[in-house]
Structure 1
Amino acid sequence: MSNHGGDSKSGGGGGTLSEVYQNSKRLLIKTRDGLERLEKMFESTSSSDLSDSLNRDICQIISLCSNMDSLWRSIPAKSQRDLWKRKVEQVAEEADSLKGSLDKYLSRNQRRVQEAREREELLGRVNGDGSHVLRIFDEEAQAMQSVRNSSTMLEEAYSTGVAILSKYSEQRDHLKRAQRKALDVLNTLGLSNSVLRLIERRNRVDKWIKYAGMIVTIIILIYVWRWTR
C-alpha cells in the first residue's frame, strides 16, 4: 500500500483512493442528470426504470464512500488525511441529497398514481350511475349557492343595522348638544322649574323612542338571520 496522497489502494482491489473518488464523482454527475430527466418525465415504464437505475447508482456511490472512508484513514500525512476526509464527506453529503430528491420524487409520483386511481374509480361510479351522482353534485351546488346568498343577505342586513345604530348615535349626540344649549338659554332667561321639568320629560320620551328603535332594529336583524339560515 502506497503512502502518498491519494495513491492508497483498496484491499478489495477497487483501485486507488483517487480512482475511487473519480468514479464516485462520475456517478454523482450521472445521477444528477438522471434526476433532472426524471422530473421532466410523465408516469411511464421508462420513468420507473430510470428511478430504479438512479437508486442503484446512489447505493453504489454510498458504497464507494464507505470504501474511500477506509482508504483515507490509511494515509500517513495528516494534511492529506484531512483533505481527503473533506472530499469524501462532500461526496457522501451529495449522495444523501440525491437520495432525498429521489425519495421526494417517488413520494410525489406515488401520490399522483393514487389520485389518478381515485379519479378512475369516481368516473367508474359516475358511468355506472351517472344520473344519481350528477343529481348529488347538483344538490350540493344548489346548497352552496343558497348558503352564499344567505351569507350575502345577512351581511347586507348587518351593514344596514350598523348604519341605523350609527345614525341613532349621531342623533343622540345632536339631542344632547341641543339640550345643553336649550338649558343654557332657559337658565339665562330664568324660566320656571315647571318648564324645565317639561323639557326633561320630553327628553326621557325621546330617549325611550331611541331605545325602542334600537330594539326593533335588533329584532329585524335576528329575524333576517333566522330566515336566511
Structure 2
Amino acid sequence: MAVEMGGGGGGGTLSEIYQSAKKLLLRSRDGLERLERLEYSSTAASIDSPELSFSVKKDISQILSLCADMDRLWRSVSAKSQRDLWKRKVEQVAEEAESLKQSLDKYFLRNQRRMMEAKERAELLGRANGESAHVLRIFDEEAQAMQSVRNSSRLLEEASTTGEAILFKYSEQRERLKRAQRKALDVLNTVGLSNSVLRLIERRHRVDKWIKYAGMIFTVVIVFFFWRWTR
C-alpha cells in the first residue's frame, strides 16, 4: 500500500518515508557510538567532535520530523490490519529516536561538565601566588585524614569480628558443657535406678529364702505330727 504525502516532508509514500527514517536511525546510532568511544578513550578523554555531534543531532531532529509525517499518513490507511501495523512501526521509530535524543543530551551535559572542570583546573594551576600549593596541601591532608579514617574503620571491623569469634567459641563451649552435664545427670539417674532395682531384687530374694525355710519347717512339722498320729 502506497500512501503519499506532500507539504513540508518533501513528498513520498509512507513506506519510503519509513525507510528513510530507518536509515537515519542507523546513522544516528553509529554516530552516537563514535562520540561515546571518543569520550571514554584513554588518549582523548576530553576531546569533543562538534561536527559529528551536530550531525547526529540534525539526523535525530529529521527522524522526529519524519515520524510526525508518518503519524499523519498511517491514519489514512484504509485497512485496519495495515493501519495497526503502521502505527506500531511508527511508534517504534519514534521511541528509538527519542531514546537517541536523550542519550545525545546526556552526552552534551557530560561534555559541558568536562569543559567546566578543565577550565577550573586551568585556573587553579594558573595561579602563581602560592594558592595552588595551598589547595593541593589541603587536598593531601584531607586524603590522609580519609585514609586514617578508613584504617581505623578497618581495625574496628577486625576487632569486632575477632570479638564475635571469641563469643561464638565461648557459646560453643558452654553448649558442650551443658550437654556433658545433662549426660552426667542421665548416668547418675540411671545408676540410681539400677541401685533401687538391685535392692528390690535383694529384698525379694530374702523373702523367697524365708518362704522356702518356712515351708521346709512346716513340712517337717506336718510329717512329725503325722508320724506321731500313725503310731
* Same fold by TM-score greater than 0.5: yes
Aligned residues: 160
**Long gaps (5+) in structure 1:** 156-161, 167-229
Match for 2:29 among 28, 32, 52? 32
SS class of match (1:80): helix
Q: Which residue of 2 aligns with 1:9?
A: 4
SS class of match (2:12): coil
Cα 1:82–1:38 change in 2 (3 A) is: same
Give the Cα separation in 1 of the matches to 2:145 and 2:133.
18
Offset at residue 52 of structure 1 (A): 1.1
Runs of 4+ in 1 over 4 A off after TM superposition: 130-155
Offset at residue 132 of structure 1 (A): 4.3
Offset at residue 138 of structure 1 (A): 6.0
Q: Sequence identity, in percent?
A: 68
Letter matched to residue 8 of structure 1: V
Offset at residue 148 of structure 1 (A): 8.0
Determine if the alignment matches structure 1 residue 100 to structure 2 residue 95: no
Larger radius of gyration: 2
Aligned-residue CA RMSD (Å) = 3.5
Match for 2:126 among 124, 129, 134? 124
Give the Cα separation in 1 of the matches to 2:15 and 2:111.
37
Give the Cα separation in 2 of the matches to 1:103 and 1:131.
37
Cα 1:144–1:98 change in 2 (3 A) is: closer
Offset at residue 41 of structure 1 (A): 1.5
Give the Cα separation in 2 of the matches to 1:23 and 1:119.
45
Q: Which residue of 2 aligns with 1:23?
A: 20
Q: TM-score, normalised by structure 2?
A: 0.56
| 1:17-36 Cα distance to aligned partner (Å, 9 max, x none) | 11000000000000000011
Give the Cα separation in 2 of the matches to 1:68 and 1:142.
61
Offset at residue 143 of structure 1 (A): 6.4
Offset at residue 142 of structure 1 (A): 7.0
Letter matched to residue 17 of structure 2: V
Offset at residue 44 of structure 1 (A): 3.8
Give the Cα separation in 2 of the matches to 1:68 and 1:82.
13
| 1:169-202 Cα distance to aligned partner (Å, 9 max, x none) | xxxxxxxxxxxxxxxxxxxxxxxxxxxxxxxxxx
**Long gaps (5+) in structure 2:** 40-45, 158-162, 168-231
Give the Cα separation in 2 of the matches to 1:25 and 1:73.
20
* Greater RCO, 1 or 2 (C-alpha within 8 Å, sep 6+): 1
| 1:83-118 Cα distance to aligned partner (Å, 9 max, x none) | 111111111011011111111111111111121112
SS class of match (2:103): helix
Q: Which residue of 2 aligns with 1:73?
A: 75
Cα 1:145–1:92 change in 2 (3 A) is: closer
Offset at residue 131 of structure 1 (A): 5.0
Q: Which residue of 2 aligns with 1:41?
A: 38
